[in-house]
Amino acid sequence: MNSHIRWLIFILLLTIFCVWVALPDTQGIHIDSDRDGKSDISLNVQQSLGLDLVGGLRVLLQSQLPVGTFSQEDLRTAANNVSRRVNALGVGEATVQLQGNNRILVELPGVRDPQQAIETIQRTALLEFVDFGGLSAQVGQLTGRKILTTEQVIIQEQRQTDSPDATPVAPTNGDEQPTASEEQPLLNPATGQPFETVITGAGLQAAAARLGTDGRWEIQFELTPAGGSIFGPFTASRIGQPMAIVLDGIVLSAPTIQAQLDTGGVITGNFTEQEAKTLALQLRSGALPIPLEVISSETVGATLGQESVNLSIRAGVIGVFIILAFMTINYRVPGVAASLALLVFILLNLALFKLIPITLTLPAIVGFLISIGSAVDGNILIFERMREELRANKAIDSAVTEGFARAWNSIRDSNISTILISGVLFLFGQTPGASVVSGFAVTLALGLTLNLFTAIIVTRTFLHILLPIFKKPAESRKWLMGV
């Protein structure tokens, strides 16, 4: 009995916490004990809703290269990179799918800053580390300017080979001052040739934005072994010389090399927090193999509409009450325990939806509702086994113990097999255009996993708390136990 009391206290505390998390106005906990502006204890709580529930942004991208100059594999790679970018933006259940042989459709639910999202998706993010040796005096003039590099020349030549009609970029010398709208890339003033690219972003293994010791935002990066094998010897031979960090042809900064860098370093510049995080995201996600342009972008409303959402919630609540009534009427005292356990199960799911967070779309909600049915199935298996034991004139305590023990294997095996299928669906949902399947798989698998806890531990605890109250009358009135 003592163990059941301990479990009951734990379940009640867990339920109170879940109720607090599930409340619409709960935003989380942020405690700053030393008042330094940074939270020492932080728990974020947010509800993420999909495009069909809250609307969002729909963007149609098209390759800037003519059809035939790139392969479908290049287009799929671009779609995968776009998918990684929008997911890292905090957009859940984003849909990225190919359209035809040169277009990518992106749907972003609940996007707050459409322009920033479009720029992050579209930008090619070609990062280059460029040799600025011998140009210490000209660094200030070149910072922020567009330059031509050997890597860009290779890319242009490749595009010229694939598309003879493409117009080549005409470089200018360092003395000309092109307009901001028609800026042409500059050549190396010392040689009159393109600047030498040391390595590109392909040599990066990781990148993350951070606040530097000088209070400015910067990007810390790590190199792959292949990138380090080139970058290390180069930096060792150029200590004391400037090296440019170039993004899409624009010189971000040109720090002086202070030491040999074999594994990584820091990208500095006049970044805002958002710019630093966006750039780090683009570098982590990889450059787009195909330059993309936005053909159309539109803000879309929720396809279900607020009235439909309200009706769906009302239908779900009515369905749960019907299930609670059925369990209570059909199984009496065990049914009351199962009904309480089902309420705990629902609260656990709703809390985890906000804590993880899981984006709720219509398919995701369907997965949750199916998991509720599975939770009821587990209790039915237990109670039907208890009925058999009671009809065989066994004692109530023995019947309850046998009911849980013998039903456990069936509940475990059925739930695990369905969880495995959910895993397959989740992997299938990683394919661009099929991401809505992931939401269904995640909520279903989460519900089935929680069911293993609530059907056995929570229902058993509530039943053992209720039994001492109803045990004596139930011995003479077995209908109280559902027989």
Which pLDDT tens digit goes with each residue over 7-25? 999 999 999 999 999 998 8
- How far is C-alpha 278 from the chain's CA centre? 15
The pLDDT of residue 328: 93
CATH assignment at residue 139: 3.30.1360.200
Residues 311 and 432 reside in one and the same domain: yes
CB 342 within 8 A of CB 454: yes
Q: State the total domains in the chain.
A: 3
Residues 406 and 444 reside in one and the same domain: yes
The more confident residue out of 131 and 90 is 131
The tens digit of pLDDT for each residue in 336-386 reads 999 999 999 999 999 999 998 887 888 888 899 899 988 899 999 999 999
Residues 374 and 472 reside in one and the same domain: yes
Q: How many CB atoms lie within 10 A of CB 399?
A: 22
Residues 365 and 451 reside in one and the same domain: yes
Residues whose CB is less than 8 angstroms from the CB of residue 273 and which lie 6 or more positions away in sequence, other chains included: 209, 211, 217
The tens digit of pLDDT for each residue in 283-329 reads 666 667 777 888 888 887 766 666 767 777 888 889 899 999 999 99
Of 143, 264, 135, 142, residue with least CA distance to 199: 264
Counting residues of the chain whose pLDDT is more than 90, the rounded percentage is: 30
What is the C-alpha separation between 414 and 409, in angstroms, rounded? 8
> Judging by DSSP bridges, how do beta strands 41-44 and 359-360 pair with one another?
unpaired
CATH assignment at residue 464: 1.20.1640.10
CATH assignment at residue 101: 3.30.70.3220
The owner of tokens 């960090």 is 245
Of 247, 288, 240, residue with least CA distance to 135: 240
454 by DSSP, 3-state: which? helix
Domain that holds residue 139: 125-287
Whether 39 is covered by a domain: the verdict is no
CB 96 within 8 A of CB 430: no
Residues 329 and 473 reside in one and the same domain: yes
Whether 42 is covered by a domain: the verdict is no
The tens digit of pLDDT for each residue in 224-277 reads 898 899 999 999 998 989 999 887 788 888 888 888 888 888 877 778 888 888
What is the C-alpha separation between 60 and 99, in angstroms, rounded? 9
What are the angstrom distances between the C-alpha of 25 and each of 43, 130, 308?
14, 50, 22
The tens digit of pLDDT for each residue in 95-142 reads 788 888 888 888 887 776 777 777 777 665 677 899 998 888 888 888
The DSSP letter of residue 302 is -
The more confident residue out of 94 and 191 is 191
Question: Does this model's pTM top 0.85?
Answer: no
Q: Name residue 372's amino acid.
A: I
